[in-house]
A = this chain, B = another copy of it.
Amino acid sequence: MKISGQSIIGFHSASNAGPSFGATNPRTGESLSPDFFAAGTDEVNLAASLAHEAFAIYSLISGREKGKFLRAIAAKIEGAVDELVERAEQESALPKTRLQGETARTCGQLRLFAEVVEEGSWVMARIDRADAGRKPAPRPDLRSMLHPLGPVVVFGASNFPLAFSVAGGDTASALAAGNPVIVKGHPAHPGTSQLVGQLLRESVQDCGLPEGVFSLLLDSGTSVGVALVKHPLVKAVGFTGSHNAGRALMDLAAARPEPIPVFAEMSSTNPVFILPGALRQSGDDLATGTYASLTMGAGQFCTKPGLLFLPENGDAATFIDKLGKLVAESRQFNLLTSGIRSAYQSATARRQTEPGVKLLAARRAASDDQEFGVGAALFEADSQSFLRNPELAAEVFGPATLVVRHSTRAQVLELARKLGGHLTATIHGTEADLREFSDLLAILKTKVGRLVFNGFPTGVEVSHAMVHGGPYPSTSDGRSTSVGSGAIFRFCRPVCYQGFPEATLPDELRDSNPLGIWRMLDGEMTRKPTTG
């Protein structure tokens, strides 16, 4: 495939009249060809109009047709895996194996949503039958189900050039719900974005869908994103990225004449509580596992363990020694962009100057160190300083983590209560630990979207029960998940049909239940037809 550098507006390529920008290899600092061209206001308007027009058709197609479309995208991505991985490696410095895995995950996500819409029960169909004899007034026939919202804008994420970008989880779930999607490509990987965008466009064409179902707009700055979020024909936004950018989008969307929902997954420090019994039993393994989780993807996962709460005892000291050694002896890591690299360098430098914080370990420099690499870092803060300084609970994007030790049971609960919203919280413990710290679990339950026991928070499973979401500031709306099949619920709303004849109802709500889906019939779940 050719990378033209132009945005994709429906079936057309945008002009190359806008300001140009380039991609960079973050491992070497070298510029990558070709040049890319930022979309302009006309192109934003055109993409939005096409999406709006497409919605009238795409919102009504069957689950089977949507499934076919999602599977077509997956097949095309699999067919181009080598090309995609090669370009993504150049643009992201992520290792090939990781990118191969990410491609598989991207296709897996698309197929999971295909299954969900083909099966069809996700629409939460509810039928309350009429009762003509009810007093004081007859009860009408009421049937409701989920319908899509309208055009959805998806912002590609820097840290998942495939699985959370052009054809990633937000796109897959929005398309599955029946919404056209306009992707704002991430400027760190415009080539990867354009390759995937072409595959997506081809899938729209192959499936005979209206062209506005998908567009990809490129931009190295913020103006295209801002224009998209403010566009009156756009009805929802999906975003994965920094807290500041996410909050800016939330504020923009809330200030619109017609406010729209923004699902932003923004920042999380993913606190880990290692309880005394676990530390005694398996401190060594926990240190190795923590190091692996901390440095996986160069510490650039949303669920990186960035806060470690440990008891003040000898087992903890041994654990910290071991973790510190692994950090000191670690290899260099390449971060996703030069901006992320300098943010990591200043955040780790600043952290050392915060009151009550010390650097326990940092990677030792070596003679063959590369200019663009960074090292892992292990910090410690005393618990009083941690409680006083909210900065210490903030995410440092990259392979750094912070230890906080507590000397009493009351203190660990106080530390937990003080936490803000995070994507995950982890407890390592024996069953006896869990019993002793049951109130810790009760507190953490109110702080996060996912609780992990004796595992590591990285490695987010794409499944039905997954929740990748949590109270603000980890996301904009803790009532949602951006990973797993539940992500589809973000992009739809219930519509009720009162008194409509069978022939005019959507298949999902017909008496005969032609799709055989699960429905709530007069309050009871069933797959039976309504008759009888």
Chain A interface (Cβ within 8 Å of chain B)?
55-56, 59-60, 101, 115, 119, 121, 126-128, 136-137, 139-140, 142-144, 147, 149-150, 250-251, 254-255, 258-261, 421, 431, 434, 438, 441-442, 445-446, 448-455, 459, 461, 463-467, 469, 471-473, 476-481, 485-486, 492-501, 503-504, 518, 520, 522-523, 525
Contacts and interface: CB of A to CB of B under 8 A. Distances in A.
A485 B431 CA distance: 38
Contact of A128 (B55, B459, B464): B464
Given A142-B465, A451-B496, 4 more contacts: A142-B463, A144-B486, A449-B496, A453-B501
B495 A455 contact: no
B495 A448 contact: yes
Contacts of A126: 464-465, 486
Contact of A467 (B140, B144, B473, B523): B144
A354 to B, nearest CB: 21
A499 B451 CA distance: 9
Which of A137, A251, A481, A499: most chain B Cβ within 10 A? A499
A255 B472 CA distance: 13
Nearest to A517: B525
Given A140-B455, A451-B496, A453-B497, A472 B259 contact: yes
Nearest to A134: B461
Nearest to A494: B467
8 closest Cβ pairs, A-B complex: A254-B254, A467-B496, A126-B465, A142-B465, A450-B496, A479-B493, A128-B463, A144-B465
Contacts of A434: 501, 504
Nearest to A250: B259
B259 A454 contact: no
Contact of A451 (B59, B455, B469, B495): B495
A502 to B, nearest CB: 10
Contacts of A498: 450-453, 455
29 contacts: A119-B523, A127-B465, A128-B461, A128-B463, A128-B465, A137-B459, A142-B461, A142-B466, A149-B479, A150-B446, A250-B259, A254-B254, A254-B255, A254-B259, A431-B503, A434-B501, A438-B504, A451-B495, A451-B498, A451-B500, A452-B498, A453-B497, A453-B499, A453-B501, A454-B499, A455-B498, A469-B493, A478-B493, A486-B494
A213 B294 CA distance: 41
B128 A495 contact: no
Contacts of A503: 431
A313 B254 CA distance: 44
A450 B451 CA distance: 38
A492 B464 contact: no
Contact of A101 (B55, B56, B136, B493): B136
A463 B518 CA distance: 18
A192 to B, nearest CB: 22
Contacts of A469: 493-494
Nearest to A60: B442
A127 B371 CA distance: 47
A434 to B, nearest CB: 5
Contacts of A461: 128, 139-140, 142
A71 to B, nearest CB: 17
A445 B147 contact: yes
Given A137-B459, A494-B481, A494-B486, A464 B150 contact: no
A460 B50 CA distance: 37
Contacts of A147: 445-446
Contact of A466 (B60, B144, B452): B144
Given A453-B501, A455-B140, A261 B465 contact: no
A490 to B, nearest CB: 8
A355 to B, nearest CB: 23
A438 B254 CA distance: 34
A83 B86 CA distance: 76
Given A465-B496, A467-B495, A496-B465, A250 B254 contact: yes
A383 to B, nearest CB: 22
A8 B229 CA distance: 43
